[in-house]
Structures are given as C-alpha cells and as structure tokens.
C-alpha cells in the first residue's frame, strides 16, 4: 500500500482539479431551471468513473434526474464486492448575498475549498473512484470489486432511488455499502457514524371561519384558529421535554449502559457547543446528555408556523386559517408511519370542536443503527486510523440518510459511513466548504478501506 | 329638504363614480412602497372637498402621511359647527388570491361595490362632503357650519393625529363630531353605535439561536423558538376564555343590569350569525352573550404568527426566530398603555430562559361609550329614521376608533357615529364591499343629519 499512498500524494492536484471542475456545475436538483446542469453533472460523474478504471459505466434515466452506475469487477476470486453510494446533486445556494465567493466558482482560501457541494456530497463521493484509480494505476488491480451508485435527487428526497434499487437488486448485489456523506468529529478526531435518526414530517391546517375577520368587530365571537393552533401545539411536550403523543415512546430502543458509557467517552463540551450555536442555554429531554438527545433520542420540532398578518406594523385580523409544519426525529425501533399516525390521532384529540383541523403526513424515513463490532465497521475504523493516525471513534448522528435504511432492509448488507466532512462545513448553508487536507487524507482512507474490506 | 333628496337621487351616478375613482388609489398606509399613492389619495380628497363647496381646503404634512382639512363656515349666525372625521388610507389587501376581483379595480356585482376601502372608510367618509354639496347646490347654503378632518394614518394607529388635534384645538373647534366608520345592524335595521372598544397591539420576537439549524443534526439540543412561542401564547387564556394576564380585568367597567337588558332586545340570532361566518361553533368568554362578548368585553387574539418554513413540502429546519402579533380589544375603563405593559410583563414571566424574548407595543387606543339620550345622538337617530324609514337602535361595536376617545377627552364634544356599513362588508378582509343602495341612502342620512343637528 506504500505505493498507493505515494501515488495519491503525487496526484493530489489532479484529484483537486477534477473536483473543482465538478463543483463548477450548478446541479441544483430542486430547480427545474437547472435540469440541464444536473444532467451535465451526471455526465461528468460517468466520465470520471470511466477515467478511474470502471470497465462499465451507465447513465440511467429516471422520471426525475439520472442515476449514474459504474463497476470494476476484476478482483481476485472470492474478494468481496463494495457498493459506493453518493449523490452529485446539490442544495440551492440561496441566500446568495451571504457567500464570500460565488457558490459555483470554487475558491480555495486558507486551505479550504469553498463551493456549494464541496462537502455535500461531490467532495465526498469522489474520493472513492479516486481510491479505485490509485489501486489500479499502482498495482494494476484492486483487492475488492467496486460498484458505484451515484444519484442526482438526494436533496429532493430521492423519489426515484428506492424503485431503482428494488428493480436492480441483482445488478447492485454487494457485500457492503460505503457512503461518504457525513462528518467526523474534528480534524484530529476521526470518527465513524454508526447510527442515524428517522423522520416523520406532518403539516397541520386549522380553519376557523370561511374568511379572515376584523378582530374588533368579531373578536370574542369565535375561536381564533391561530390561538387554537398554538394551544394544540403547546400540548405536544411536557415541562421535562417529554413528547406527550400517546404511545410515542413505545418502540424506542433504550440505550444500553455500555452505549451510554461510550457516549461519555466522546469529546464534547456543552458550553463550547452552546456558544457555537449562539443559544442562551441548551435544553432538551431531561435525563439525557446533549449528544444522546441529538442522536439517540426522538424529538419533536416545529419546522414552520404561519397564519394571519406577517408584514410591518399592525393589522387587526382574525385569520381564517393557521398552519404549522412539525417533524419528529425517530430512533430504532420506531416506525415512521406508526409515529405519523400517532401524532395525527393526538392532534385530533386535543383540537377544539370550534375549529376544523386537518393533519397530513408529508414524508418519513426510518432510523438505523449498526453494531460497532461489525467487521465492515471495524475495517472502516482501521482505514481511518491508517489515514489520520488515530483510532476512529464511533458516533451516531441526528440526521437521516433514508437510503441507509433501504440498503439495510432490501439488500441486508451493512453500511460503512466513511464521512470525511467536518462539523463546520456549512452544509445547506452559505460558504459551504471542504477542508483540502481533509479531502486528500479522506481519499487515502478510501483507498485503505478497499484493502481493509478484503481482509 | 325634499329638493335636497331629489338632488341626491339625481346625482347618484356622480357620487358613485367619484368614490370609484378614489377606490382605485391603493393608499395602503402601512406599506412604505405606497407612500406616493397615499399622497395621491390625500390630493383627491382635498380636491373633492373643494368640489363639494368647502371655501378653504388644506393638505397638511405630518411626519407620516398628510392630513386633509376643509371647511364651509357660512351657516346662519348661531348655527352649530359640525366636525366630520374620516380616513382615506386603507388596509393591505393580502391575501390577494382570495379576491374575486382585484382590490384596487372597483367592481359592482349584484348591487355591491367590491374594493379595498369601499366600506372602510372611503365609501363612508365621502357621504359627508356629498351631503354638504347637496345642501349648497340645492339651497345655496347649509343649516350648519361644517369642518372636515380626513387623515391618512387610521390603519396604522393615527400616530400623528392626536398631536395635530392638540396643536389645532381652535381650528377644529366644533359643537359635535360626526364619523361614519362603523356599520348598522342590517339594511332594514338602522342602528347607531354609541360604544367602541379600545386596542393594545403588541409584537413578540423569540430568538433561539444565531442561525437556522438542521433539525436532524441539532434537534434535541436547544429550545426551538417556535415551540417556545406557542407554549407562551397558549398560556394567555384559560379553558373558559378568560385572559390570564395578571390584572387584565382590574379596570373593566361591569355591564349594568339595564345594559344587559338592552342587549337582549337587539335582534340577533346566534345560529344565523355562526353560519354567516362559516364557523363550526361560536365560542368565547363564558357567562356572556355573543353580542356582549364582541362589544362590551375585552378580548385577546393572535393577529399573525410566523417562523421557519412556509413553502411546499418539507424543510427540516429549526428556525432561529419565531414571531407573533397579538392584540387585545379593550372596554371602559381599561387603559391601553396599562394593558400593554401588563401583557408584556406576563409574557416575560412565562418565557423560558433558554430563548431570548422581545415584546414591543405597536399601538393602542382607548375604549369609549356615550349616553344614548344625548341630543346629538338623538339627532343622528332622526336622520336615520328619515333616510331608512325606521327608528335607529343603539348598539356598541367591537372595533376601535381611538380618535373618538381623543375628541371626548381633548375637545369635550360628543361624537355621532353615523355608520352606514353592513356587518358582512368584509372590513380588513378579501372582497371588502359597500352595498350601493346603502351608500346612496347613507348620503341622504348625512344630508338630513346636517339639518337635524341645527335644531
């Protein structure tokens, strides 16, 4: 492997230049005006897979944006097959005025590469074809077979990915999935995420009257739907931060004493964390630490609320309708459909008769957690140790990558989340960046992983 | 007077056309982008006063929108002086998609003139210059002196009106004030409002963190300001509809048994009223009838609420900030400044330490109630009887016209609220309208009032 790492050191500029070329393409999947750019990015990914040594590459059309597939299947007999998943689409860059340099003109400042998609996920997925290329160009072979599944709809909820996977189980057959789309704890604290939360997202509509009313003429006659909405939403949690929806915690898998000990070992400073958020205080479900609350406990948040007048000054209106979007982050073994139903039932229960209430479920996804002693996760840990010089910690993240639950359920294979991002990368925000050093070390780790998975 | 009413019948189209021209001007006082239109409306009002016979008209600049003044002072010696107050500014028309025809393109459908401001207050104040004109063009004179004070900031709380009145007490000196900015009970039930509620309007800003957060990565770490806001707002009322702000009811003047008997005599059908609003049920403070609740009891309503994502679909964000606008309708002898302070103190009390809360008072006004046997109110009653053919009932309204309390306090003169609107005019709402027949009869009543006040 000495020669693979030497090869990668020699090819740092080439890897960086290729990433920069990809980052120039504004492949914003949610914006129909960018459909051509999304396709252009797919074509780039396909060509790059071929340049990296894939013997077969395909651009597969879907009802939405294309999926790119590639494979190199010439490993020694008996070697496992690795499926790399990633995505080439990006979030919209707005608000534009907060970017120090334009989102699609990649710029390096103080060792950081600023561009939309630099960390999420162009600058992460691409380390894997680069790793394959390093093996092939150094040794003429790779210790494992490698398949690539790089989609263009992750940022819009991957509507066409699950159907594609279901139809192509044989084509995608593998022993382990590898995804780089998360972050490690810090530059000097390599870590591997082994758990993700699920999601149940709902929208509530409360109707009081057939039209907005003057709050002077009619105030006192009817229930104001905005007042009704806040009263309903206020009953969702108690003073200790527990969610009061009936049966909400029924299927929550309890943290074991061992897991709680592992959480305590993770480097985390509540006060530093609080300051980084600019919050007056941290707060959440009593009886759990901050790290436990944001990754191993379910939550309920209002993601949006609106009704009545939002402009300057005073408008004396009783709104006809008021709305809220709420979502729950879920943990194993909660079921997103079951939780959505329970929240709907609870909201119906606490809604007054004097207003009409509709609650619709918008979307959901399941939580996932993998045992840290699984051989694939241990291989990831060793790869990180070789690249970063330190043992990798195992962490859980609070967000959702629904495809991980899909691979678990449909293909019964483990997933290694070899995330090389950093916590301050600014995902979905202005000035998203990828640390350049992190990118190069991450590419090395990806190369070592292919070797470690062969053991 | 026969000839005055004949003149008005002949000039119906002219009066209507002039109103339509005024309604075309989007004089939205709360929107700085409409400042030019507000001024344009002021100029229209000034010209119309001159066209109506005023011998002196002025457009008076204020730190905000201009005040229009006009006078005709040639009545027979000893005749009283009437001051007509009104406003030419209007509420914002949003939500625009609910208007059947555009708010500033006045349209007559089935005898109703639809436009923002048609009832509040352009289509009401304007009957008074038209009445003066009818007298002058019919008889060459008018039985009383008439002054006009038409402002452009009523919908934003008249910040510059009280200072102007205080500085111009001599100029505005009069024996009685007449205002048409309320409604009567029905087309066949003429009524005169002798009581109004006051107002205390506040805006609440709750800040959680310095920026929006991803609800997956951070959900569980901090108090979501939208959750905090709904929890605070939900504590404002109890299950019986009582407002829980400490000291809120301290100065509320109790309804006398006689007043409660008078209320019972007014024609009102709860079920019909409920259907007209399209509400599943009527609801309010226990122990009071609907009419009492909407005119003689104080209220608290959320007028607007917002925070986080309001678009299509799901965005998993914990908003950095959440906002609400709330207002209380007040009754004698509550003081709007005192109530604003009490609400602010209460909200501070119920706000959690883990968020920052700002509550600012936007504007306020005092409640007012007049004795129904006052000669000026009796003159109004006779004018209505002549125009509508039926005795006028005396009612109280739930809205606020703070200037009525100002005239009461600063000028010690009675006010006659000769409102010609109807309960379903849709004030401050989409599809605001003025019944065309009501407009013409109202103009007649205004002309009769000038005569009745001379007796």
For A129-141, what is each residue's pLDDT tens digit?
A: 999 999 999 999 9
Cβ distance of B201 and A317 shorter than 8 Å = no
Residue A429 has pLDDT above 90, yes or no: no
What would the mean pLDDT of B382-401 be, rounded to a whole number? 92
Test mutation, A215, A238, A296, A307, chain B, max B CBs within 10 A: A215
Give A401's pLDDT tier (boundaries 50, 70, 90).
Answer: confident
Residues 244-303 of B with CB under 8 A from A: 273, 277-285, 290, 293-294, 297, 299, 301-303
Catalytic residue (choose from B154, B155, B181, B366): B154
Return the residue of A nearest to B185 by Cα.
A217
> In the sheet that A433-435 helps form, which strands lie side by side, from edge to edge?
A107-109, A112-114, A433-435
With beta carbons less than 8 A apart as the criterion, state whether B188 and B355 touch: no
Q: Among B294, B356, B362, whose Cβ lies nearest the Cβ of A313?
A: B362
DSSP, residue by residue, B308-351: E--SSS---EE-SEEEEEEEEEE-TT--HHHHHHHHHHHHHHHS
Three-class SS of chain A = CHHHHHHHHHCHHHHHHHHHHHHCCCCECCCHHHHHHHHHHHHHHHHHHHHCCCCEEEEECCCCCCEEEEEECCCCCCCCEEEEEEECCECCCCCHHHCCCCCCCCEEECCEEECCCCCCCHHHHCHHHHHHHHHHHHHCCCCCEEEEEEECCHHHCCCCHHHHHHHCCCCCCCCEEEECCCECCECCECEEEEEECEEEEEEEEEECCCCCEECCCCCCCCCCHHHHHHHHHHCCECCCCCECCCCCCCCCCCCCHHHHHHHHHCCCCHHHHHHHHCCCCCCCCCCCCHHHHHHCCCEEEEEEEEEECCCCCCCCEECCEEEEEEEEEECCCCCHHHHHHHHHHHHHHHCCCCCEEEEEEEEEECCEECCCCCHHHHHHHHHHHHHHCCCCEEEECCCCCHHHHHHHHHHCCCEEECCCECCCCCCCCCCCEEEHHHHHHHHHHHHHHHHHCCC
What would the mean pLDDT of A432-452 be, rounded to a whole number? 98
Residues of chain B contacting residue A277, judged by C-beta atoms under 8 Å apart: 209-210, 213, 218, 221-222
Q: Among A293, A309, A325, whose Cβ lies nearest the Cβ of B314?
A: A325
For B75-134, what is each residue's pLDDT tens digit?
A: 999 999 999 999 999 999 998 999 999 999 999 999 999 999 999 999 999 999 999 999
Residues of chain B contacting residue A295, judged by C-beta atoms under 8 Å apart: 220
Distances (CA, A) of A449 to A10, A51, A112, A142, A389: 20, 20, 24, 11, 14
* The model's pTM: 0.82
Residue extents of the structural domains in chain A: 2-196+367-452, 198-252+298-365, 253-293
Return the residue of B nearest to A196 by Cα.
B216
Cβ distance of A303 and B302 shorter than 8 Å = no
Q: B113: helix, coil or strand?
A: strand
For A72-92, what is each residue's pLDDT tens digit?
A: 999 999 999 999 999 999 999
B184 Cβ under 8 Å from any chain A Cβ:
no
Does residue A44 or residue B217 have the better pLDDT?
Answer: A44
Residue A246 has pLDDT above 90, yes or no: yes
Tell me how many residue pairs between chain A and chain B have CB atoms under 8 A apart.
Answer: 318
Could you tell me which CATH class the domain B2-196+367-452 is placed in? alpha beta
In this structure, whether the domain defined by B200-252+298-365 belongs to CATH 2.40.30.170 is answered with no
B323 Cβ under 8 Å from any chain A Cβ:
yes
Cβ distance of A233 and B230 shorter than 8 Å = yes
For A256-307, what is each residue's pLDDT tens digit?
A: 999 999 999 999 999 999 999 999 999 999 999 999 999 999 999 999 999 9
For B285-301, what is each residue's pLDDT tens digit?
A: 999 999 999 999 999 99
Cβ distance of B217 and A397 shorter than 8 Å = yes
Pick the CATH number of A198-252+298-365 from 3.40.190.10, 3.30.70.360, 2.40.50.100, 3.90.1580.10: 3.30.70.360
Cβ distance of B302 and A308 shorter than 8 Å = yes
Test mutation, A94, A278, A306, A316, chain B, max B CBs within 10 A: A316
User: Hey, which of A421-435, B120-134, B361-375 has the most confident mean pLDDT?
Assistant: B120-134
Smallest CA–CA distance, residue B119 to chain A, in Å, is 13
Q: Among A226, A284, A428, whose Cβ lies nearest the Cβ of B221?
A: A284
Cβ distance of A214 and B283 shorter than 8 Å = no
Residues of chain A contacting residue B397, judged by C-beta atoms under 8 Å apart: 216-217
Q: What is the residue-averaged pLDDT of chain A?
A: 95
Q: Among A211, A224, A304, whose Cβ lies nearest the Cβ of B309?
A: A304
Cβ distance of B277 and A210 shorter than 8 Å = yes
Smallest CA–CA distance, residue A4 to chain B, in Å, is 35
Give B2's pLDDT tier (boundaries 50, 70, 90).
Answer: low
Smallest CA–CA distance, residue B12 to chain A, in Å, is 29
Give B312's pLDDT tier (boundaries 50, 70, 90).
Answer: confident
Asked about A89 being catalytic, the answer comes back as yes
What would the mean pLDDT of B25-31 be, rounded to a whole number? 96
Cβ distance of B157 and A314 shorter than 8 Å = yes
Instruction: Tell me the C-alpha distance between B122 and B88, whole Å.
Output: 6
Question: What's residue B403's pLDDT?
Answer: 87
Smallest CA–CA distance, residue B398 to chain A, in Å, is 5
Smallest CA–CA distance, residue A274 to chain B, in Å, is 9
Distance from first CA to last CA of chain A, Å, rounded?
14
Question: What's residue B117's pLDDT?
Answer: 98
Asked about B335 being catalytic, the answer comes back as no
Cβ distance of A399 and B216 shorter than 8 Å = yes
Question: What's residue A2's pLDDT?
Answer: 62
Question: What's residue A153's pLDDT?
Answer: 96
Give A101's pLDDT tier (boundaries 50, 70, 90).
Answer: very high
Smallest CA–CA distance, residue A26 to chain B, in Å, is 21
Cβ distance of A226 and B304 shorter than 8 Å = yes
Question: What's residue A222's pLDDT?
Answer: 96
The ipTM (two decimal places) reads 0.85
Give buried/exposed letters for A307-341 (b at 16+ CB in 10 A, else e).
bbbbeebbbbbbbbbbbbbbbbbbbbebbbebbbe
């Amino acid at each position: 492997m000495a020669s693979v790492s030497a090869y990668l050191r020699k090819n740092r500029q080439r890897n960086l230049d290729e990433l920069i070329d990809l980052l120039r393409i504004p492949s914003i999947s949610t914006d129909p005006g960018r459909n051509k750019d999304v396709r252009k990015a797919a074509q780039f990914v396909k060509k790059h897979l071929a340049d990296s040594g894939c013997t077969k590459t395909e651009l597969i059309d879907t009802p939405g944006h294309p999926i790119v597939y590639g494979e190199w299947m010439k490993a020694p007999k008996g070697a496992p097959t690795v499926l790399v998943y990633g995505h080439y689409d990006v979030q919209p860059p707005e608000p534009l005025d907060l970017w120090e340099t334009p989102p699609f003109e990649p710029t390096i400042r103080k060792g950081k590469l600023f561009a939309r998609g630099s960390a999420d996920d162009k600058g992460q997925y691409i380390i894997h074809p680069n790793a394959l290329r390093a093996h092939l160009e150094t040794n003429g072979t790779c210790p494992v077979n490698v398949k690539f599944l790089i989609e263009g709809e992750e940022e819009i909820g991957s509507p066409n990915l699950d159907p594609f996977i279901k139809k192509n189980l044989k084509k995608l057959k593998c022993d382990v999935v590898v995804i780089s789309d998360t972050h490690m704890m810090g530059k000097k604290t390599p870590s591997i995420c082994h758990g993700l939360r699920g999601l149940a997202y709902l929208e509530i509509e409360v109707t009081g009257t057939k039209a907005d009313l003057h709050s002077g003429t009619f105030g006192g006659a009817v229930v104001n739907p905005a007042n009704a909405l806040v009263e309903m939403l206020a009953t969702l949690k108690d003073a200790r931060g527990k969610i009061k929806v009936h049966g909400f915690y029924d299927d929550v898998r309890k943290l074991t004493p061992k897991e709680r000990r592992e959480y305590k070992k993770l480097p985390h400073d509540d006060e530093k964390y609080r300051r980084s958020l600019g919050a007056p205080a941290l707060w959440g479900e009593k009886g759990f630490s901050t790290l436990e609350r944001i990754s191993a406990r379910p939550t309920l948040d209002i993601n949006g609320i609106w009704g009545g007048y939002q402009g300057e000054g005073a408008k004396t209106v009783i709104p006809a309708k008021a709305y809220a979007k709420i979502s729950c982050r879920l943990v194993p073994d909660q079921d997103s459909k079951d939780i959505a139903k329970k929240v709907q039932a609870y909201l119906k229960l606490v809604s007054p008769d004097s207003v009409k209430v509709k609650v619709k479920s918008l979307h959901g996804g399941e939580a996932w957690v993998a045992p840290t002693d699984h051989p694939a996760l241990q291989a990831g840990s060793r790869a990180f140790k070789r690249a970063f010089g330190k043992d990798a910690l195992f962490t859980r993240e609070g967000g959702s990558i629904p495809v991980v639950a899909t691979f678990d359920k449909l293909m019964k294979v483990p997933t290694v989340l070899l995330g090389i991002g950093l916590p301050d990368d600014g995902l979905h925000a202005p000035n998203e960046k990828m640390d350049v050093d992190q990118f190069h070390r991450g590419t090395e780790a990806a190369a070592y992983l292919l070797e470690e998975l062969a053991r």
